[in-house]
Each structure stands twice: as structure tokens, then as C-alpha cells.
């Protein structure tokens, strides 16, 4: 294989969204885990429904809508202060522990790198800055540019367009298996980081490679 | 309002999918509910991912794939016999108790009626026959014809095409709120049958009307 560049998913792959659930549990004891799960599920569901129906609004709006649904579903009263605090978590996520070292190895090897995310331009810029990751990336590609969310082909096309090479020459990295399936269908070389030991999605498509953390990405490319 | 025809969603709206979960619980005691929930969630998720990426396979295939995932996620061994039995449930669903009377009232009033479903042509024909509902419908519209799943506009377009009138003159009926949102965006007059007291989806769109059972549809149109 010839890999000329890397495109990383952001949420769950570079950025740990665990803190969101932790704050939800602190605010709504006993219901935080359920709220966090529904919040994430609805966030993703809304991106897909809006994309299929050509009703794009940005990820910040979708994330807030999903939070409102999750709290309604759990029967909790979401105050304006709690809403602001939970949404703010999305701009202050921490990087996974191994990321800095792994990204440094890849950068030192001269590998061009991008983030390719459902996040809005504002959200992802704030989150990368807060996590001290911004300096690693040549491109930060937000779906804002194409007004569709993953797994629309127009989103994945941003990678080849930014790097000026074929999708098959770009390693696409995500911990979200559905994202890996979409990227593999599109034509990327893919590595699924199965951080939480989840089953492979049954979509008739397999990633090019598998790993668990970003260290596995550096090992895969650099040996 | 002038309603000239009605289009019904099938699974969960006309046909009760409860029996699927009941058999899952019988086969996998203590894990049946979790399997049934994941099975349904993945079934819907796969329809959307395949539609966004233009990788259509029919609903029978998607339903089997989702079952395989659900059993894997719960760590249970799905034998060939158990798989056959669970899949067969989808062709032997029962109608909700009130459906026959409500559909008879609408038919007697001369209202043209259709089923508009993600189901494959074979699945939906078998299920309507088993539930003794087939005689009520002038059209049975399967996504097989357009090779995309809901909420793609091409799916909803089948209604106006079949009835020869505008979407705004057709009442679209579904118990699936996301389906109602897609249909409302498309332009249908919609009624959401909230059978299970779920929160309204936060997608910035509201159904034209709400109800709980098919009786409410007949009351809404016939008074």
C-alpha cells in the first residue's frame, strides 16, 4: 500500500467524549448514563435524517436538539444553566492519552494529516485548541462546507480534494464503525479503532485494518 | 383540509412487531428485550447508512444483518434454527387490535388507501396477508421500486405517484416519529400515532396532527 496522507474522525477518535457523560451524571444523578447514551444516539440519528432529507443545520444545533430530546425522554428538567454547561463540554473535550505521542510520530515522519468531522467549524476549532491538538493538522475539514453529514459521499470527498490524491491513498481513521464503513465504501484505505470492543457492523464491508488506539495507527504506518 | 387518500407506514403502525421481542425472550431468556431493541435500532440504522451511501439491499437482508449484529452484541450464539424462527416472525406479524374496524370505516367512506413501507415486496405481501389486512389497500408501495429507504424523498414520492394527487392531499400515517418528520418535510399532511408515549423528535418540524391508534385516524377524517 501507498499511504500519502491521513484523515481522522474527531469525536470519539481524537477527542474523548467521556466527560460529557460524567457531567450529565453529576447534574442528573442516576440518569446521566441514560441521558448521555440517548444524547449521542439522537445526535447521530438527526445528522442522518437531516442529510437524507436535505435539511442541514450545523452540528451545534443538532447536538443541542439531541440533548433536549434526551432530557425529555428521561423526564428531567433541563435548566438553561445545565444546558449551557453540557453543551460547553463539547468545546472542552480532552484528547485520548496516547494521541499526542502518536500524532507526533506521524508528524515527524512527514505525514500530511487532516481532521474530517461532522462538527461545525467553530466547534471543532475550539475543541482541537482545548485539547492541544490543533498544531498537528494541515486541514480541518468540517461538513459545514458541504452542508451534509457523514456518511454522505460529499463529506468523504473533502479528503481527496484537500490532499490532492486518491481516497485509496489516504488512511481514514475512526473509532466509529459506521464511519469506517462509509469511508471504506467511498474508497479510502481505512483503520477502525475499536476502542470499546464493539461488534463489527453488518454492512457487507470490512475495514482495511483494525486497531484499538492511535498508537496502532502510527505502528501500522511506521512499523 | 382536503384529504383524497391515505398512506400508511407498515411496521409498528399497521403491524405489531411485539411478537418479535417475545420470541427473542423465549429463545434467549433475560436477553430477549435487549436483543429486540438492538435488532430494531440496527435495522433502521442500516437502512439509513445504505441509503446515504447508495448501497441498497432489500429489507429482508437488512433485517437479517441487524439480527446478526444484535446477537453478537449480546454475546449469544444464534443457531440457524433460531435465526429462521426469528426472521419468520416478520412475515407473521399481527395487526393492532383496532386496525380492522378503523380500516373498514375508512374503506366504507370510499377513501383510497396505500401502504408505503421500507419492507421488501415479498415481506410486506406476506405480512399483510397473515394479518388479514391485504384487502384494504389499493396500493402496496415497497422501497424496492426506488432502491432507497425512508426518509429519502424518492420513497415518499411513491405516494403522490400512485394516487395521482399532491402529497399535501394525502394523509400520511405512522407511529414512527422520524418517519412522520420525513413525510412532513416532503409535504404530506401527517398524523403521528404516538403509541408508546415517546417524546417528539427535535427536528424543527411538527406533524399536522397527533393520535394514538388507528381509530384516531378514522375519527380525524370522518369525525
d(CA B93, CA A70): 30
Q: How far apart are CA A169 and CA A180, in angstroms?
A: 15
pLDDT in tens, chain A (223 residues): 799 999 999 999 999 988 888 999 999 999 999 999 999 999 999 999 999 999 999 999 999 999 999 999 999 999 999 999 999 998 898 899 999 999 999 999 999 999 999 999 999 999 999 999 999 999 999 999 999 999 999 999 999 999 999 999 999 999 999 999 999 999 999 999 999 999 999 999 999 999 999 999 999 999 8
Contact status, residue A53 vs residue A152, Cβ threshold 8 Å: no
Q: What is the pLDDT of residues B113-124, one digit of tens each?
A: 999 999 999 999
Regions of chain B where pLDDT drops below 70: none
B82 and B99 both lie in a single domain: no
Looking at residue B223, its pLDDT comes to 86
Query: Is there a contact between B49 and A48 if contact means CB atoms under 8 Å apart?
Result: yes
Domain that holds residue B110: 5-15+93-222
How far from each other are the two terminal CA atoms of chain A, in whole angstroms?
Answer: 13
State the pairing for strand pair A5-8/A94-95. Answer: unpaired
Q: Which domain-ending residue is among B38, B66, B89? A: B89
Largest CA distance in chain A: 53
Q: Which residues of B touch A203 (CB under 8 A)?
A: 46, 49-50, 55, 65
- B196 and A39 Cβ atoms separated by less than 8 Å: no
| H/E element, A139 | strand A139-142
Degrees (nearest 5) of the Cα angle A189, A191, A193?
A: 165
Which of B41, B65, B89 is the C-terminal boundary of a domain?
A: B89
Chain A: residue whose CA lies nearest to B48: A48
User: CA of A107 to nearest chain B CA: how many angstroms apart?
Assistant: 32
Are B106 and B178 contained in the same domain?
yes
Tell me the CATH number at A126: 3.40.50.1000
User: Which pLDDT value is given to residue B1?
Assistant: 74
CA dihedral A185, A186, A188, A191 (to 10 degrees): -40
pLDDT for the residue numbered B17: 87
- Comparing CB atoms, the residue among A49, A73, A182 nearest residue B203 is A49
When divided into structural domains, chain B yields a total of 2
Nearest to A208 by CA among A195, A190, A181, A188: A190
Q: Which residues of B sit within 8 Å Cβ distance of A?
A: 41-42, 45-46, 48-55, 57, 65-66, 68-69, 72-73, 151-153, 178, 181-182, 185-186, 198-204
pLDDT averaged over every residue in chain A:
96
Do B213 and B127 lie in a common domain?
yes
* Residue B14, CA distances (Å) to A115, B115, B122 in order: 44, 9, 17
For residues B11 and B23, membership in a common domain is answered with no
B80 and B186 belong to one structural domain: no
C-alpha neighbours within 13 Å on the C-beta side of residue B29 = 0
Q: Between A and B, how many CB-CB pairs are < 8 A?
A: 87
Strand partners, A7: A114, A172
* In a shared domain, residues A27 and A76: yes
| Residues A98 and A82 occupy one common structural domain | no
* pLDDT given at position B4: 98
Give how far Cα B129 sits from Cα of A42, B118, B140, B142, Å: 35, 17, 12, 15
Our CA-based measurement puts residue A76 at a distance from the nearest CA of chain B, in whole angstroms, of 12
Question: A136 with A187, same domain?
Answer: yes
pLDDT digits (tens, 9 = 90+) for A145-159: 999 999 999 999 999
Query: Please, are residues B171 and B7 in contact by the beta-carbon 8 Å criterion?
Result: yes
Both B78 and B106 in one domain: the answer is no
Distance in angstroms (rounded) separating the CA atoms of residues A152 and B119: 23
Secondary structure in 3-state letters for chain B: CCCCEEEECCECCCEECHHHHHHHHHHCCCCHHHHHHHHHHHHHHHHHHHHHCCCCCCHHHHHHHHHHHHHHHCCCCCCHHHHHHHHHHCCCCEECCCHHHHHHHHHHCCCCEEEEECCCHHHHHHHHHHCCCHHHCCEEEEHHHCCCCCCCHHHHCHHHHHHCCCHHHEEEEECCHHHHHHHHHHCCEEEEECCCCCCCCCCCCCCCEEECCHHHHHHHHHC
What distance in Å separates the CA atoms of residue A74 and residue A79, rounded to the nearest whole number? 14
What's the confidence (pLDDT) of residue B124? Answer: 96
Q: Do both B48 and B137 map to the same domain?
A: no
Whether residue B64 is found in the same domain as residue B148: no
Residues of B in contact with A51 (CB under 8 A): 52
Choose among B57, B69, B152: nearest Cβ to A52.
B152
Q: Do residue B73 and residue B101 come from a single domain?
A: no
Q: Which of B39, B199, B204, B205 to mutate to test the interface with A (most CBs of A within 10 A)?
A: B199
CATH number, residue A52: 1.10.150.240
Residues from chain B that touch A42, judged by Cβ atoms under 8 A, are 201-202
Most A CBs within 10 Å, among B39, B53, B118, to test the A interface = B53
Residues of A with CB under 8 A from a CB of B: 41-42, 45-46, 48-55, 57, 65-66, 68-69, 72-73, 151-153, 178, 181-182, 185-186, 198-204
- Give dist(CA A16, CA A168) in Å, integer: 27
Nearest-CA neighbor of B158 among B110, B118, B102, B195? Answer: B118
Among B44, B74, B89, residue at a domain's last position: B89
Amino acid at each position: 500500500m501507498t499511504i500519502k496522507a491521513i484523515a481522522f474522525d474527531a469525536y470519539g477518535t481524537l477527542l474523548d467524549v467521556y466527560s460529557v457523560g460524567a457531567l450529565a451524571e453529576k447534574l442528573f444523578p442516576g440518569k446521566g448514563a441514560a441521558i448521555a447514551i440517548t444524547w449521542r444516539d439522537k445526535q447521530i440519528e438527526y445528522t442522518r435524517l437531516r442529510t437524507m432529507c436535505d435539511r442541514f443545520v450545523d452540528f451545534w444545533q443538532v447536538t443541542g436538539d439531541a440533548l433536549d430530546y434526551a432530557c425529555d425522554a428521561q423526564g428531567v428538567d433541563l435548566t438553561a444553566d445545565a444546558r449551557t454547561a453540557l453543551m460547553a463540554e463539547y468545546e472542552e473535550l480532552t484528547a485520548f492519552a496516547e494521541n499526542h505521542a502518536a500524532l507526533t510520530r506521524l508528524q515527524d515522519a512527514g505525514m500530511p494529516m487532516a481532521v474530517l468531522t461532522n462538527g461545525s467549524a467553530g466547534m471543532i476549532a475550539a475543541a482541537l485548541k482545548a485539547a492541544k491538538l490543533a498544531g498537528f493538522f494541515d486541514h480541518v475539514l468540517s461538513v459545514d462546507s458541504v452542508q451534509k453529514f457523514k456518511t454522505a459521499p460529499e463529506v468523504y470527498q473533502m479528503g481527496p480534494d484537500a490532499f490532492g490524491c486518491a481516497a485509496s491513498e489516504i488512511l481514514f481513521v475512526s473509532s466509529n464503525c459506521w464511519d469506517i464503513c462509509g469511508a471504506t465504501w467511498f474508497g479510502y484505505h481505512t483503520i477502525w479503532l475499536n476502542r470499546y470492543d464493539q461488534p463489527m457492523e453488518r454492512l457487507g464491508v470490512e475495514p482495511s485494518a483494525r486497531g484499538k488506539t492511535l498508537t496502532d495507527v502510527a505502528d501500522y504506518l511506521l512499523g
